[in-house]
Structure 1
């Protein structure tokens, strides 16, 4: 068996996970340092916030386009190149003397990060044994979630000294991952497809629907997560409790990711997604009732609701990516890039919808049942496209 035909070993997956770890720190830490960034670059907080927004916008557009254009390239080279671009972008931001240069660096890092996300997931799916794909994917994706739980708090602490320090941290971690990938990750050549053949899956309504399911799950999640401090604020005293809640959210998300990886190796991804959405609806309804409790009971209910959301939201990514890999195995990089774009779009829509509801007079607690409404719509869409896919014989039935 050639090196390309052999499944990727633990060492290779570890370096890919470290790459996603660096991206996880970058994806969240700047949002917690906006006042320092604004003061140093002499711009408003709103302008500083655009450094976060431009990353998501650029990644949403660049990911699918670059994945389609590089579909015939050797996968290890694409991973290394995109990671190098991501590191360079972060160094540009860290060294930027002006807001304009920082913005340019943010765009560069987003281009590299968007392609890296899609290609890493496609590589793992292609280089894993069919009965272990879920666990392999959850391990690599887990790097992002570990960064949310551990890397981001560390970044925020050192960022109090200088907001540029976390960016240097991202660049150092990314560089170490790049060296490890160049040495330890096997090459992989996938069948070369024309751009037209690569884009052919976009004509499948079932595939587009599956991506919209990811958008719906993330919209419901960020509708509440974005404004979690407003929900916890009246129930806990001090910032320490809120920081603990965010730290716990990352850890529980990681547990959910691990459980989901194993579940996807035993059951059809469609079944896992159905279970996750159904439980999230129940969690939102029970959370709505629990938040009505006064005093200590309400605080306990808030933490229970928040961590239950973390468990199942953390487990959704592996199942969603596995399903797309089944639907379009010949264009995995593209469809996984589209999935990442759909998730980023859902995150943005959740924040926008939540803000609009608050401006309209809805109390912060009302965002929890509102997320249940979004999830019900998402479940209806998911069941509809799953039924359509079964009729065409493209995916397993809902029963494992």
Structure 2
């Protein structure tokens, strides 16, 4: 097995050569994480019935994963920063796979919840390790391309892996968890056989958290949290929102497939728009569009005739997919521009902001349902969060303009 040392990594960064080949198995790993991140949302009724809990409680299986990942990512990334990178990736992926196996065989809710925490510990470290590995082995002018390829496994999972997982889940919700474990194991074997070793200098938690001393950057990270919070407040409970309008078992599978394709399209389109316009302008359009979509979707689902509500429900869901998928590129570009000398650390913190937003959104949706809200009312919850997020986004934009001026 080949080994890459810091000197070799530095030489690679100065080179203009680039190949996707070393990163194929990392993309497979993120593909498995993408299935895990989205498939449970389409299986909440089955999970709730089998584990004898409410759908809101079943939704917390997603929330606890995201919240654990948000807190554990920076800490575990720092504790393992002096480890050889391939070893870190292998161990974290192994823990992630093991956590999914625990969920798949869980006989009760507490065991399933424990499995989600275990999977989150592995997944959060895996995200940080993969990002650092890709940045170290890629010339700076190809960082975006390399990260897009590796993290594209996650986006592909929303369009392909999740529908397959939901199809398997019609027999048992446990089968998609086994699918995640199998795909993760395949990635694990490929990484062990094909990925070169890599040694990088370590860092301290203080160094990793230093960008948080900049209020404007913290506010920018909170915009990420707001976007994901508004998204997961509805996405986690999509089956409860759209299920009454589409009773066939295969309908939600096709709908989730459509959401995945919409997310991929949004990501691709905004990636090109950011190059043509500015990240700020593109992100503003995306956020305002998401807000209007949530308000109009809630009105249609609550008050329109059944057929109109069903059609508009699809329009709302797929448009949300475009916006949520399309917000990632301009937001990352804007955050990186705020602290270009700490871009890698900022992206790691943005990963925690994403996980935190996912956790808060799933939790907020569950609280709203428990408090008596109808599933359609979750679009109103999303709209409120987006209103706050748009306001914060505009404040960050004003502060950034003042800093430049």
Asked if residue 252 in structure 1 is aligned to residue 262 in structure 2, the reply is: yes
Q: Give the C-alpha shift of residue 313 in structure 1.
A: 0.4
Moved more, 181-190 or 57-66: 181-190
Count of aligned residue pairs for this structure pair = 392
Tell me what 2:116 maps to: 106
Contact kept? 2:274, 2:282, Cα under 8 Å: yes
The one-character-per-residue Cα deviations of 1:98-139 (angstroms, maximum 9, x if unpaired) are 776655443332111011123323444555555554444333
Asked if residue 44 in structure 1 is aligned to residue 52 in structure 2, the reply is: yes
Moved more, 355-364 or 243-252: 355-364
Contact kept? 1:142, 1:257, Cα under 8 Å: no
Q: 2:309 aligns with which of 261, 280, 298?
A: 298
Q: Within 5 A, what are the aligned runs for 1:61-80?
A: 61-80=71-90
Moved more, 97-106 or 347-356: 97-106
Contact kept? 2:62, 2:362, Cα under 8 Å: no
Q: Give the C-alpha shift of residue 18 in structure 1.
A: 1.0
Moved more, 169-178 or 88-97: 88-97
Q: Give the C-alpha shift of residue 194 in structure 1.
A: 3.8
Asked if residue 338 in structure 1 is aligned to residue 349 in structure 2, the reply is: yes
Contact kept? 2:230, 2:383, Cα under 8 Å: yes
Distance in 2 (CA, whole Å) between partners of 1:235 and 1:39 is 21
Unmatched 5+ residue regions in structure 2?
1-6
Q: Quick one: structure 1 residues 355 and 85, their matched pair in 2 at CA, closer, same or farther if it must change by over 3 Å?
A: closer
Q: Give the C-alpha shift of residue 203 in structure 1.
A: 1.3
Q: Quick one: structure 1 residues 121 and 328, their matched pair in 2 at CA, closer, same or farther if it must change by over 3 Å?
A: farther
Distance in 2 (CA, whole Å) between partners of 1:98 and 1:196 is 39
Tell me what 2:379 maps to: 368
The one-character-per-residue Cα deviations of 1:326-347 (angstroms, maximum 9, x if unpaired) are 4445655654343233223323
Distance in 2 (CA, whole Å) between partners of 1:36 and 1:296 is 26
Q: Within 5 A, what are the aligned runs for 1:106-255?
A: 106-125=116-135, 127-128=137-138, 132-185=142-195, 192-233=202-243, 235-255=245-265
Q: Give the C-alpha shift of residue 300 in structure 1.
A: 2.3
Distance in 1 (CA, whole Å) between partners of 2:79 and 2:336 is 19
Distance in 1 (CA, whole Å) between partners of 2:111 and 2:369 is 34
The one-character-per-residue Cα deviations of 1:206-263 (angstroms, maximum 9, x if unpaired) are 2221211011111222233234345435544544433322221112112222223344
Moved more, 125-134 or 145-154: 125-134
Q: Quick one: structure 1 residues 188 and 270, their matched pair in 2 at CA, closer, same or farther if it must change by over 3 Å?
A: farther
The one-character-per-residue Cα deviations of 1:132-172 (angstroms, maximum 9, x if unpaired) are 54444333322123222322232233344455443332222
Asked if residue 350 in structure 1 is aligned to residue 361 in structure 2, the reply is: yes
TM-score by length of 2: 0.80
Contact kept? 2:100, 2:178, Cα under 8 Å: yes
Distance in 1 (CA, whole Å) between partners of 2:28 and 2:363 is 31
Asked if residue 261 in structure 1 is aligned to residue 262 in structure 2, the reply is: no
Distance in 1 (CA, whole Å) between partners of 2:46 and 2:244 is 27
Asked if residue 315 in structure 1 is aligned to residue 326 in structure 2, the reply is: yes
Distance in 1 (CA, whole Å) between partners of 2:68 and 2:339 is 24
Q: Give the C-alpha shift of residue 183 in structure 1.
A: 4.4
SS of corresponding position for 1:45: coil
Q: Quick one: structure 1 residues 244 and 15, their matched pair in 2 at CA, closer, same or farther if it must change by over 3 Å?
A: same
Unmatched 5+ residue regions in structure 1?
none
TM-score by length of 1: 0.81
Distance in 2 (CA, whole Å) between partners of 1:100 and 1:355 is 17
Moved more, 262-271 or 112-121: 262-271
Tell me what 1:55 maps to: 65
